[in-house]
Amino acid sequence: MSSLLSVGALADGSWLAVPAISFNIEALGDRFWSLTIEGLAYGSIYALVAVGYTLVYGVLRLINFAHSEIFMLGMFGQYAVLMLLGFSPSGNAYAEGAVMTIVYLGIAMIGGMLISGGAAVGLERVAYRPLRKRNAPSLVFLITAIGASFVIQEFVHFVLPALTDGELGGVNAQQPIRLVEQKEQFTIFGASVTNVTLIIIGSALVLALATDMFVNRTKFGRGIRAVAQDPTTATLMGISRERIIMLTFLIGGVLAGAAALLYTLRVPNGIIYSGGFILGIKAFCAAVLGGIGNLRGALLGGLILGVMENYGQILFGTAWRDVVAFALLILILMFRPTGILGETLGRARA
Partner 1 sequence: MHRRSMRAALVLVAAATLTLAACGDKSAGGSGSGSESSSAATSGASGSSSSSAAPAGGDLAINPLVQIDIDGNEVEASTGTDAVSPAGDGSATCDGVSVAMAGALTGPNAALGLNILYGMQTALKEHNDANANCQVEIKQFDTEGDPQKATQVAPQIVSDASVIGLLGPAFSGETKATGTIFSQAGLLSLTASATNPDLTANGWTNFFRGLANDAVQGPAVAKYLTGSAGFSTVCVVKDNSDYGVGLAETITEGLGDAADPSCAADVKTGDKDFSATVQLIAGAEPDAIFYAGYYAEAAPFVAQLREGGVEAAFVSADGTNDPQFVDQAGSAAEGAYLSCPCGPAPEEFAATYESEHGQVPGVYSVEGYDLMTIILSGIDSGITDRAGLVEYVKNYQGQGLAREYQWDDNGELSSSLIWMYEVG
Q: 159-178: which residues touch partner 1 (CB under 8 A)? A: 161, 166-176, 178
Q: Does 237 bind partner 1 (CB under 8 A)?
A: no
Q: Does 269 bind partner 1 (CB under 8 A)?
A: yes
The dihedral over CA atoms of 179, 102, 217, 241, expressed in degrees to the nearest 10, equals -50
The nearest distance, CB 104 to partner 1, in angstroms, is 7
Q: Does 107 bind partner 1 (CB under 8 A)?
A: yes
Nearest to 223 by CA among 254, 246, 255, 207: 246
Taking contact as CB under 8 A, which single stretch among the options 82-90, 145-153, 293-301, 330-338 is the one that binds partner 1? 82-90
Taking contact as CB under 8 A, which single stretch among the options 56-64, 77-85, 326-334, 337-345 is the one that binds partner 1? 77-85
HSE-CB at 178 with a 13 A cutoff on CA atoms is 17
Judged by beta carbon, residue 61 or residue 184, the one nearer partner 1 is 184
- Contact between 129 and 248 under an 8 Å Cβ cutoff? The reply is no
Q: Does 282 bind partner 1 (CB under 8 A)?
A: no
Judged by beta carbon, residue 87 or residue 212, the one nearer partner 1 is 87
Judged by beta carbon, residue 93 or residue 333, the one nearer partner 1 is 93
- Contact between 295 and 348 under an 8 Å Cβ cutoff? The reply is no
Interactions with partner 1, residue window 290-349 (CB under 8 A): 310, 313-314, 317-319, 321-322
- Contact between 112 and 75 under an 8 Å Cβ cutoff? The reply is yes
Q: Does 99 bind partner 1 (CB under 8 A)?
A: no
Judged by beta carbon, residue 62 or residue 193, the one nearer partner 1 is 193
Nearest to 341 by CA among 267, 271, 305, 288: 288
Using CA atoms, how far residue 108 sits from 4, 83, 87, 115, in Å, is 36, 10, 11, 11
The dihedral over CA atoms of 311, 296, 57, 146, expressed in degrees to the nearest 10, equals -30
The nearest distance, CB 182 to partner 1, in angstroms, is 4
Using CA atoms, how far residue 198 sits from 38, 261, 273, 338, in Å, is 10, 14, 27, 32
Tell me which amino acid residue 85 is. Answer: L
Judged by beta carbon, residue 5 or residue 330, the one nearer partner 1 is 5
Q: Does 278 bind partner 1 (CB under 8 A)?
A: yes
Per-residue contact track with partner 1, 182 to 221, x per CB under 8 A?
x-----------------------------------xxx-
Size of the site for partner 1 (CB under 8 A): 78
The nearest distance, CB 116 to partner 1, in angstroms, is 15
Of 91, 147, 202, 337, the one binding partner 1 (CB under 8 A) is: 91
Interactions with partner 1, residue window 2-61 (CB under 8 A): 2-11, 14-15, 17, 19, 27, 30-31, 34-35, 38, 42
The nearest distance, CB 348 to partner 1, in angstroms, is 25
Q: Does 255 bind partner 1 (CB under 8 A)?
A: no
Judged by beta carbon, residue 103 or residue 143, the one nearer partner 1 is 103
Interactions with partner 1, residue window 110-139 (CB under 8 A): 110-111, 114
d(CA 277, CA 271) in angstroms, rounded, equals: 12
d(CA 323, CA 338) in angstroms, rounded, equals: 21
The nearest distance, CB 294 to partner 1, in angstroms, is 25
Taking contact as CB under 8 A, which single stretch among the options 49-57, 129-137, 273-281, 297-305 is the one that binds partner 1? 273-281
